[in-house]
A and B are shown apart, each in its own frame.
Chain A
Amino acid sequence: MSEKINAKIPEGSISEKWTKYRSTVPLVNPANKRSIEIIVVGTGLAGAAAAATLAEMGYKVKAFCFQDSPRRAHSIAAQGGINAAKNYQNDGDSVYRLFYDTIKGGDYRAREANVHRLAEVSGNIIDQCVAQGVPFAREYGGLLSNRSFGGTQVQRTFYAAGQTGQQLLLGAYSGLERQVGIGTVTMYSRHEMLEVVVIDGKARGIIARNLITGAIERHFGHAVLLCTGGYGNVFYLSTNAMGSNVTAAWKAHKQGAYFGNPCFTQIHPTCIPVSGDHQSKLTLMSESLRNDGRIWVPKQKDDKRAANDIPEEERDYYLERRYPAFGNLVPRDIASRAAKERCDAGYGVGTSKMAVYLDYAYAIERYGKIEANKRGLHNASKEEIIVMGKAVVKEKYGNLFDMYKQITGEDPYEVPMRIYPAVHYTMGGLWVDYNLMTNVPGLYALGEANFSDHGANRLGASALMQGLADGYFVIPYTIGAYLSGEIRTKAIPTDHPAFVEAENKVKERINKFLTIKGKQSPESFHKRLGKIMWDKCGMARNAQGLTEAIEEIRALKKEFWSDLRVMGDADEFNPELDKAGRVADFIELGELMCLDALNRNESCGGHFREEYQTEEGEAMRDDENYMYVAAWEYEGDSQWTLNKEPLIYENIKIAQRSYK
């Protein structure tokens, strides 16, 4: 084990660690809290929850987001739901089972103690949200409703139609705005963090750009919390929002914070396929659609017939064929790879041939028959059954079907949907210890921005759980371990040389972007980076491709810094300038992701190295050599040192993950 890495996992049995630790972690008394300032960057589930809760506790909080309102953070787009071990359905759920499913789902690459804590607080999250007025789906008896999700066998997912993320975020946002109204949180919207200020080895503030005026601002904090989401947009096309970026996390990384498992990317199996070069982002179709839809491709290669003209016996329901136990409900990584395998082998559908069918004809007929029986119509014609079935499907999935039709111009009630995997979430992120603190004292990472809970593959409905767990129920306790030692630290004036230096660095960089005066837009560089990443560090990777990708990215970086064109000025609202900074950071991150993928000579979860697979094409882990977190330390331009945090499983028996 690297001496530099100390995860600070408390002693004791797994089920007692958090309870005991929480009861013994040092506290900051109320009077002292009033003079301690905390900076929270990002206002999604993790950031809004943390900012509101810390302010409620008495800390002085400054919250930042690049969007025009904290309510627009990308957590808002989450569709399916949020897991919690409530066992309301009496189907055998428990904290241990949620813990176990999450570790297994992550292909044994997540940290046990953190995941167990996540499962422990999951129930509190639902209670908190209900108390805020989050309108979760309910049964006729007035109690909360649950549904199932991929990779689990219990019903533990709470939801609000297909807009769960929106409703949870609006709950957290209302808590945040309440504190803004009271004056305990100062909100900085349309502000982008462009540097971490480190003084005597501790994070002491940030440099932020006011995106409306272009003013560069210095902000002091006794601690800095990065709740800035994931970096899926390194692939250009992803289900992330257009503005989602790695910049805050990357600045922290370059200031010394380790980056954990950067290559662990989640490719979501059910997204609307790319329709052309103009494509700016990809749209997810909720995983819940796999509850009822059947996925297939033609048995014949390059079949030109329309989907409905292909008879049943000439269709290959490949997930049901390969994974009879879980069928269409296998975890995301497995479903995605299986789709890619069929398309690569020449069985893909649609004009691009890079798509598979998600078919509701069978479900429509099945629901129609049930409905006919309910109504006592035992001689209903096929047409009548179809009409009734469509009505049932509309009630369950109507908003998703409408969205599909709006985007593709095709009616999914009549023809199968075309879907293909797309980048959706990044399990990797800043390395943090049990307290959610990076290796830079006073600098924290919460939610998708850290690496800790999902291992090499995240299960559906677990991202919302983690964001809110970190913000509401973890950081409010664990931050005391650090801040209790900071009560004598007076606010550092922002004319301190470290602030001046950081600000100058930011200004120089902005000036550089504007003065290259080359020919190519930030957007065009982003597109090219995305293509390299998707082709060579995407759903399947190999040593040769990754080696090439690293060379190509380095060349792209050179070109970027010599031929970039940014229109507009520094002292105004300038989205092109914002984008240039984000793309520059994505380029550097892309190189590290390839390096990490190249280093990890195994396949696990979303990381699939073609050289390491079973004869049946399944991922082959190497627990002997790679059961560790890769925590990369920045050493300078294109230079990194690998630190390893060994993963120790004391409570779960390691097994080959099987969904057959």
Chain B
Amino acid sequence: MSEGNMNLTLKVWRQKNAKVNGSLETYQVNGISEDMSFLEMFDVLNERLVSEEKEPIAFDHDCREGICGACSMYINGRPHGPLEAVTTCQLHMRSFKDGDTIVVEPWRATAFPVVKDLVVDRAAFDRIIAAGGYVSVNTGNAQDGNAIPIPKEEADKAFAAAACIGCGACVAACKNASAMLFVSAKVSQLALLPQGQPEREERAIKMVAQMDAEGFGNCTNTGACAIECPKEISLENIARLNREYLGSSIASTVA
């Protein structure tokens, strides 16, 4: 069943599981409509593979509206493909041309081992949050929501940092596979708000320690992460994290 007239060559990473080696396989897909999303093109290909009694390609996806952070394809050498500020699920085929060859790989990072094909394990991000990415407030402890006014500008900055969807594109984009943009977004959000102040010092130190323990690389300020981030998390957050970390290391008794 064809709905459009784009014919494409896909080179897709296939890997049975974490224990075996993978390789790129080539697929010809025809009759693709420019209104399809990139993932819908994969749906079409997968349906065809099933009809040919071949194993479909595993890939992570869920909300398909750019907010859950599940989708994670490395397309032609760029996380989430050619557009800026767009996740793979929101990338549409009109961004490609008939006859294109498209290479699709999983996120590549030691801390994100491949589960299967294009699916990787990003549980390291959860462990970083568990190490300190929160305000320690038990349910029931809160005072009235308007008890502490927060200047709009600070609230807006905190929101911009909080927009991170935890997809891991920053890590995939980084030549060092550093998670600094992810960690800095959470540290910044809470450092900018009065609610985050009591644990500010130990938060930065604990989250960075966990990031290192997970095997993410160091930051060398190349800035690829911020360019590829689908939510446009700013590099300023990394600068803020560095200040937080340095300040905490000097002041805190945690380290």
Contacts and interface: CB of A to CB of B under 8 A. Distances in A.
A49 B66 CA distance: 23
Contact of B155 (A135, A165, A275): A135
Interface in A82-126: 86, 88, 123-124, 126
B90 A403 contact: yes
A611 B35 CA distance: 38
B129 A278 contact: no
B97 interface: no
A210 B75 CA distance: 29
B142 A74 contact: no
Contacts of B47: 521, 523-524
A242 interface: yes
A131 B40 contact: no
A278 B146 contact: no
Contacts of B212: none
B162 interface: yes
A173 interface: yes
B50 A279 contact: no
A77 B67 contact: yes
A76 interface: yes
Contacts of A128: 137, 139-140, 142
A519 B1 CA distance: 16
A127 B146 CA distance: 8
A280 to B, nearest CB: 5
Contact of B142 (A127, A278, A524): A127
Of B65, B139, B162, B166, most buried by chain A (CB within 10 Å of CB) is B139
Given A181-B131, A409-B34, A241 B62 contact: yes
A407 B143 CA distance: 42
B92 A166 contact: no
Given A275-B35, A521-B50, A567-B50, A131 B150 contact: no
Given A67-B62, A68-B121, A127 B92 contact: no
Contacts of B61: 242
B158 A135 contact: yes
A376 B61 CA distance: 50
B144 A142 contact: no
Interface stretch (A479-487, A491-499, A537-545, A570-578): A570-578
A180 B125 CA distance: 13
Contacts of A243: 62
Interface in A122-141: 123-124, 126-133, 135-141
Contacts of B35: 275-276, 278, 408-409
Nearest to A276: B3
B135 A132 contact: yes
Contacts of B90: 403, 406-407
A572 B17 contact: yes
A282 to B, nearest CB: 9
A69 B166 contact: yes
Interface in B153-204: 155-156, 158-159, 162-163, 165-166, 189-190, 193, 195-196
Interface residues of A, number: 84
B81 interface: no
Contacts of B50: 521, 523, 565, 567, 576
A521 B34 CA distance: 25
Nearest to A142: B149
A163 interface: yes
Given A144-B146, A568-B55, A523 B43 contact: yes
B65 A403 contact: yes
B123 A189 contact: yes
Contacts of B65: 77, 239, 281, 283-284, 403
B33 interface: yes
Contacts of B34: 409
A83 to B, nearest CB: 14
B63 A280 contact: no
Nearest to A279: B40
A275 B60 CA distance: 23
B94 interface: yes
Contacts of A593: none
Interface in A40-74: 49, 52-53, 56, 67-72, 74
Contact of B123 (A69, A174, A567): A69
Given A68-B123, A241-B64, A173 B146 contact: no
